[in-house]
Structure 1
C-alpha cells in the first residue's frame, strides 16, 4: 500500500510513563511528534490516558505496536485487530507499525520479540498475514527489523534480503531501526553498511534510533543508554537515501533528564537537515592567466 502523500511528522520521542510529566510541564517546541504503543491506551481510561490525550492535542502521534505477532503460526486475533482499528481511528493515525517477528503462541504473549527463520518458508508464511493486517486496518502498515541473539533456524539468506523480500511481496512499508542493525551486525558479524546498501528506501516510512549496552561478548538492545556515534553514522547513511515520515528516539528505561533526550532529537534533526541541504558545486579554480590579470587590476 502506498504511503505517498502522508504528512511528515518530523522527529520525536517515544512517550513513556517516566517522561510524560516533564512533557506536559513544558510542551517543548524542539519536539515535532510523539510515538505511542497502542496496547498501553486501547480500551483504557484514567490519568495516563488523559495525559496521552492532552499531549496528542499538541503533537502528532505515530502508532507503533508490540503484540500483533505477524510471524506467529496461530491466526491473527480478529478481536485485537478490531479494537486496534477503532483506536487508530480515534487517534487519527496516518499509519500503523509493528515488528517483523512473533511474540505469542496460541494467544499467549511472551512480551518479547522473537526472530523468524530467514527462510523462503517464513516469507511465504508472513507475507499474507502482513497483507491481512494492512487490508483490514485500511492504512499503510510498516514492519520493523528486530534485534536477536540467536538464529531461529537454518538461515537461507541474509537478514536484509529477508526484510526486503517480505516488504516487497507484502507491499508494505518499513520501520527501519538503525540501532537494531548495528547490534545485530556486531553480534552476528556482518557489515551494517552491506545491510543498508540495497534496502528499498522508498518503503522506509518510519525510523527508530536507540541505545544499547555491552554485556559480556554481546551487545544488548536495551533502549536504556545514549545513542552512540556508530549508530548516528548509520542514520547519516540512511538520511541521504530515505524520506521517512517520522524519526523517533527510543528510550525505554534509565530515562535521562528531558534536556538530554531533546539533545538527541536535535542531533537527528541536524543529520536530516544536512542530508537534504543542496550541495554547492565547487567553484572552478581560476587559471594562472586570470590570477595574473586580477593581480594587475589592483
Structure 2
C-alpha cells in the first residue's frame, strides 16, 4: 500500500490555508464535489507540488440492497484517473432505499446510514464491493461509519463484519477512529475490541475528526476539535500497526489555520510515539476469491428492512420492530438538520432570502416530503412548496423567492398570471418535457 503520510480533508473554505500548511503530504476531496474538467486551481497546484489527492465518495451506497449505480461508479473512476490517485474510498453504508426491489417510492437519506451486521447484509455488501472493484481503475478502500442507531438482531460485531468483508473481497479499509468513538458512546461498542478483531494489515489510511455530545448522544459533526478519546483510539491503533496515512477531517466551522496545524501536530505525535516496536506497517491484503452471486431474495429481504427504516426516519411511518424509538427520533432530526445544511450550501440564496425563518420552514417541509431527487431538486421543491402555500407572508420576500425559483425552473411567464397558476403550469410543462 502506498505510504501517504499526514493529510487533511481539502475543502474550498480552507483551500488557501491548506496550500500554505507545512508538512501536508496528501489531501482527500469529496468526489461528488469535483468536476473532472474544471478542477479547482488549488487542487491543481497541490498536485503539481507532488501532493497526492484521493477522491472520497459519499453517495455510492455500497451497503444498500441495490447493485451500485453504473453512472456513479463511472464518475468515481473518472475522478481517480483525472487526479492520478493511488486509490479511491467510499463508505460501508446505505444512502437510499425503496424503488424496484420493494415496489415502493424511492427514498434518499441524504446521509450515511448503518447496514445491519447480518449475513444477508454482508453477502450483499461483498457483491457490491466486488462490482465496484471491477469498475474502478485503482484499489478501493471502504470506511466504517458513525451511527446513532443500532439494528436489532445483529449477528456480528463491527470487527467481525469488517474482517469477513476483507477476507471475502480483498478490499482495503479506511478506519475512522472518530467513528469508533461515536459507536462507543452511542451503541456501547468497545473500540479496543473492534481493533482486536480488525485485519489491521488491510488498513489503507485512517480518519481523525471531532464531534460533540448532547444528552448522552455523540454527534460526529466534523465541525469541532478532535477530542482526547479519539486521539486515544488512534494511539491504540498506532501501537498495533503503523497506518500508511492519517488524515484530519473538518467540514464546517473552520478554525484559524494555526488551530488546524496544532491538531495535525497532535495527530503526528500520537502516531509517532505509539508506533509498534517492530515497525510493522499495514501493507494491504491479497486478492480474495470472487464472491458468489447474491440470490435475489437476499437483496429483497435487505431492501425491505432498509426501506422500512428509512421510511420511518424521513417519511414519518411507524418505527420497525426492535428499534429504539427515542434514538430513531434523534436520528430523524439529525437527518433533517443535515438536509437543511446541505441545501443551504447548494442554494445559499435560500437562507439569505428567508433569513431566520429558513431552518424552521425547511424542517416543516422536510417532515412532509422525503427527498428523492438530490439536493438541488430538493431546494427547488422546497421553494415551490412555500410559494404554492402563499409563503412567505411578506410580499417583498415572496417576490424574491419567486424570482429565484423562476430563474432556475423554466422560462419567465409571458403575462402577469398569479404565481400559483404559473408554478403549476411550469411544473406540468417540465414534467412533459
Indicate which of 1, 6, 9 corresponds to 1:14.
9
Counterpart secondary structure, 2:153: coil
> Aligned partners of 1:109 and 1:49: how far apart in 2?
28
Does residue 42 (structure 1) correspond to residue 47 (structure 2)? The answer is no
Question: Counterpart of 1:124?
Answer: 123
- The residue number in structure 1 matching 2:139 is 140
1:70 alignment partner, one of 39, 62, 71:
62
1:180 pairs with 2:179: yes
Alpha carbons 1:131, 1:171 under 8 Å: kept: no
TM-score by length of 2: 0.59
Q: Displaced runs of 4+ in structure 1, greater than 6 A? A: none
- State how far apart, in whole Å, the 2-side matches of 1:212 and 1:257 are: 18
State the SS of the aligned residue for 1:152. coil
User: Secondary structure of the equivalent of 1:103?
Assistant: strand
Q: CA deviation at 1:181?
A: 0.4
Structure 2 residues not aligned, in runs of 5+: 100-105, 279-433
Report the equivalent of 1:99: 91
Secondary structure of 2:16 counterpart: helix
In structure 1, the partner of 2:22 is: 29
**1:247-289 CA distances to partner (integer Å, 9 max, x unpaired)?**
111111111111111111111111222233758xxxxxxxxxx
Q: Deviations over 1:45-72 (max 9, x none)?
A: 2xx7222222232221122111111012
Count of residue correspondences: 270
- Residues 256-275 of structure 1 correspond to what in structure 2 (within 5 A)? 256-275=255-274
- How far apart in 1 are the matches of 2:257 and 2:71? 37
Per the alignment, residue 340 of structure 2 pairs with none
TM norm structure 1: 0.85
Give the match for residue 48 of structure 2. 57
Aligned to 2:234: 235
* SS across alignment from 1:276: coil
Q: Secondary structure at the match of 1:110?
A: strand
> Whose helix fraction is larger, Structure 1's or Structure 2's?
2
Unaligned runs of 5+ in 1: 1-5, 280-298
Contact 1:38/1:87, CA 8 A, preserved across alignment = yes
Higher relative contact order (CA 8 A, sep 6+): 1
Once residues 52 and 32 of structure 1 are traced to their aligned partners in structure 2, the CA distance between those partners, rounded to angstroms, is 13
> Higher mean Cα deviation, 137-146 or 149-158?
149-158
8 Å Cα contact 1:42-1:83 kept in structure 2: no
Aligned CA RMSD, in angstroms, stands at 1.9
State how far apart, in whole Å, the 1-side matches of 2:191 and 2:72 are.
Answer: 35
CA 1:154 to 1:60, structure 2 compared with 1: closer, same or farther past 3 Å? Answer: same
Q: Distance in 2 between matches of 1:104 and 1:275?
A: 40
Q: Label 1:241 to 1:277 Cα distance change in 2 as closer, same or farther (>3 A).
A: closer
Partner SS, residue 175 of structure 1? strand
Aligned position for 1:217: 216
Q: Work out whether residues 13 and 35 of structure 1, in 8 Å CA contact, stay in contact via their aligned partners in 2.
A: yes
Q: Secondary structure at the match of 2:142?
A: strand
Contact 1:204 1:243 (C-alpha < 8 Å) held by counterparts:
no
Moved more, 159-168 or 103-112: 103-112
